[in-house]
Structure 1
Amino acid sequence: MTSIRIVSFVAYDEKKLKIIYNKNSGRCEYDKVNLEFENHGKSCVNGAWEVDHSRPVSRGGTDHMDNLVPACYLCNREKANMLASEFKVYIAEKFPNMDDYRQKMRKKHCS
């Protein structure tokens, strides 16, 4: 089965990025890894993160601040178009050990 990732790029100003980043005290919404504010938009470096849509735009989500969360690069790549609630269940069921999850995601998305 072929997966298609729809990417829409929205440039957020620094004020909005800080609000989104601080929603989880600088941690990823999904795996709770520490993020580095200055690593927003970067990939495969410690603390790399992106703005994620809890409800993806492809599934009716919007760019409203209530729908935006900080996600580490690895989680955002893996989540694709899942709802936040679906992705949290996916991680918990498939990867009970978060260190194992991060290692596998790094290999999958950064190799």
Structure 2
Amino acid sequence: MLVFRRDGGRCVYCGCYLLERTHPLRCSYAESGEYWEIDHKTPVDSFGTNDFNNLQLTCSMCNADKGTMSDRKYRDVLASRVEFEESSESTSSEELWRGIMERRILTREALQEQVDSTDNTVSV
């Protein structure tokens, strides 16, 4: 319970609010409301201890995703995911906009060529 209080009742990685397993009210529709788990910053497999300073509050998804990685390694993984998503989003939107503009230009040029090549005289 001390870890829960120290970490503010939130997952140290994603920040979602966490509930005790004995909490009677759990909203099944909200993203928040995950039950909390205690995670080791330095995994026991890597000679981590059960010392208070080596423990942290996580949601089940982040804890499962972290697996046996150290806290530092997992934070690096999360940071690289965020950087990748941010670069993908900006690149995708820039490429999308560039594609839209290129199609507009090509369409306008094609229409202009049709107008220029059409004989505007009417034969009677």
Band of TM-score, shorter chain: 0.5 to 0.7
Give, in angstroms, the shift of residue 39 of structure 1.
5.9
Q: Does the alignment pair 1:27 with 2:27?
A: no
Matching residue of 2:120: none
Point out 4+ residue stretches in structure 1 off by more than 3 angstroms. none
User: Which ranges in structure 2 are unaligned for 5 or more consecutive residues?
Assistant: 24-31, 86-124
TM-score, normalised with respect to structure 2: 0.55
Distance in 2 between residues matched to 1:59 and 1:35, nearest whole Å? 27
Gaps of 5+ in 1: 1-17, 98-111
1:67 counterpart (40, 54, 57): 54
The one of 33, 50, 73 aligned to 1:86 = 73
Counterpart code for 2:63:
N
Where 1:74 maps in the other structure, the secondary structure is helix
| Conservation of the 8 A alpha-carbon contact between 2:18 and 2:59 | yes
Q: Distance in 2 between matches of 1:50 and 1:28?
A: 9
Higher relative contact order (CA closer than 8 Å, sequence separation 6+): 1
Larger radius of gyration: 2
CA deviation map 1:28-83 (0-9, x unaligned): 1111111112369xxxx832221100000001101111111111000000101111
Task: Write the distance in 1 (CA, Å) between the matches of 2:22 and 2:64.
Answer: 16
Percent of pairs with identical residues:
29
Counterparts in 2 of 1:1-111, with a 5 A limit? Answer: 18-38=1-21, 46-95=33-82
Q: Is the 8 A contact 2:21 2:36 kept in 1?
A: no
The 3 A distance-change label for structure 1 pair 84 and 39 is farther
Asked if the contact 1:39/1:47 (under 8 Å) is kept, the reply is: no
